[in-house]
A and B are shown apart, each in its own frame.
Chain A
Amino acid sequence: MFDTKVIADNFPYLLSGVKFTVALACLVILIGTFLGVILGLMQVSRSRLARYPANLIVEITRDTPLIMQMFFIFFGLPALGIKLGTFPSAAIAMSLFAAGNAAEIVRGAIDSLPLGQFDAAKSLGMNYVQMMVHIILPQALRRMIPPMMGLFTTLIKDTSLAAIIGAFELTRAAQEIIERTYRSLEIYLVAAALYFLICYPLSYYTRKVEQRRVAGV
């Protein structure tokens, strides 16, 4: 009924999928966070020239499904002569999606600070950069950590969408094994367990951080 041999036989292949899942997730988290911080800072800027384009990018990436963004880049862009492989397409689409969501977290954290913090920094003669670097961002950063961790967990799981455009990663590896062996139950169970093992430490750490915040530190 439950075939453990099929698991043992195909486990190395699943792990090779894990490698790409982790690589894709790391890439997306790094690029997405970097772009997200820039976009978030642009959103809270006083300059319209910075604010409007940032808002546009953030709204587009947040208000359309990630899978559509992937389809657009993988299937749509070739019509404009831009042909990208499955992995780069997935990485680009997911990085933009991550950036839009990270930007909202950055903006939200900054906006949630009491206005008095800005007033106090300005009243001491700080310019915009000094105020952001020494007063606003250190405080906003603490508020960003839990939602950022949540975003990272979501991103890791969403890398599985890359399988739909044919990128090789854990979900794709599982599908390929199942096509050969017809053992959906065993293989999907193990694949799910592998996702869990990647994500759980992050969620666990997030909860720890949140508990510390409640304690007032």
Chain B
Amino acid sequence: MSKTEVMIEVRDIYKHFGKVKALDGVSADIHRAEVVVIIGPSGSGKSTFLRCLNHLERIDRGSIVIDGIHLTDSRTNVYKVREEAGMVFQHFNLFSHLTVLENITIAQIKVRKRTREEAERIGRELLERVGIRDKENNYPYQLSGGQQQRVAIARALAMQPKIMLFDEPTSALDPEMIGEVLDVMKQLAKEGMTMVVVSHEMGFAAEVADRVIFMADGKIVESGSPRGLFDNPKEERTRTFLSKVLK
């Protein structure tokens, strides 16, 4: 598979929260079917970076182009990009008043304008794929964290996004449930999904990532293949961070 086509082009973006510089001049190219894992200490701007990619945060300066659509150009583009960029959150954020199946169909029906029948068919297929077909009529609070996160992944996939953004998808999970979520993500990566994953799962990064980006203080400190970055970090900041997490 060709990985030359640029899917996400980020040029010199800045984001401030009050006096705090969350992003301090970040640029990156992410290619079609590439899996990029972003690591870094908390407060390094990695989640903000991810949220900027689908305009959940508005950047102060710079440009983001996703599959040819300039995110900063107009409001229409914002909605278009969000339809194309699925997002999975640390705390799942399932809609608590809707059943599992309704969680997956609502945006298909209201945003993608699919019929209910078609949306439900797609929804059931996806539930099958993430291994919780039998829970379609349950409410989110009746599910375990790992199951909720798999529903959240199915919900995002139902929109048939071109890229998937994962914001610490396993950080809020009990250890025994991390594996089931990572398995779904690995499967996605294998199928050629373009993925940007903010994560502390170094094992996942080593196994699945094409590239690992290390961020600190709102900047990309270094990036490279997982083996290269984990085994031979060039920067002192990266070494210090890795020595703390790779024990």
Binding site for B on A (CB under 8 A): 114, 116-117, 119-127, 130, 134-135, 138-139, 142, 216
Among the listed stretches B77-85, B128-136, B173-181, which one makes contact with chain A, having 4 or more residues with CB under 8 Å of it?
B77-85
Interface SS, A side: helix
B107 lies within 8 A of chain A by Cβ? yes
Of all chain B residues, which has the CB nearest A127?
A: B79
- A114 touching B93 by the CB < 8 A rule? yes
Inter-chain contact A119/B93, CB cutoff 8 Å? yes
User: Which of the residues A117, A122, A130, A142 comes within 8 Å of B95, measured between beta carbons?
Assistant: A117
- Other-chain contact of A126, B56, B111, B156 (Cβ < 8 Å): B111
Q: Which residues of A contact B86 (CB under 8 A)?
A: 123
Chain B nearest Cβ from A64, distance in angstroms: 35
Interface pair B110/A123, CB less than 8 Å apart:
no
Which of chain A's residues have a CB closer than 8 A to the CB of B155? 124
CB distance from B55 to the nearest CB of A (A): 8
12 sample A-B contacts, Cβ–Cβ < 8 Å, listed by A number = A119-B51, A119-B87, A120-B87, A120-B95, A120-B152, A122-B56, A124-B82, A125-B107, A130-B110, A135-B106, A139-B95, A216-B141
Q: How far is the CB of A214 from chain B (nearest CB, A)?
A: 13
The reply on B91 being an interface residue by CB < 8 A is: yes
Q: Which chain A residues lie closer than 8 Å to B19 at the CB level?
A: none
Closest to B90 in A: A116
10 shortest A-B CB distances, which residue pairs? A116-B93, A124-B107, A125-B83, A120-B93, A123-B87, A125-B82, A125-B111, A139-B97, A138-B97, A130-B110
Q: Are A126 and B93 in contact (CB under 8 A)?
A: no
Contacts A123-B156, A124-B159; A130 near B111 (Cβ below 8 A) = yes
A residues within 8 A CB of B80?
A: 125
CA A216 – CA B83 in complex, angstroms?
32
Residues of B within 8 A of A134 (CB): 106, 110
Cα distance, A121 to B110, chains bound together (Å): 11
Hey, which chain A residues are within 8 Å of B95, CB to CB?
117, 120-121, 135, 139
Partner of B54, one of A123, A138, A139: A123
> Which residue of the partner chain, among B92, B96, B97, B156, contacts A124 with CB atoms under 8 Å?
B156
Other than A121-B107, A123-B54, A130-B111, give 9 A-B pairs with Cβ distance below 8 A: A120-B95, A123-B86, A124-B82, A124-B83, A125-B82, A125-B111, A126-B110, A134-B106, A138-B97
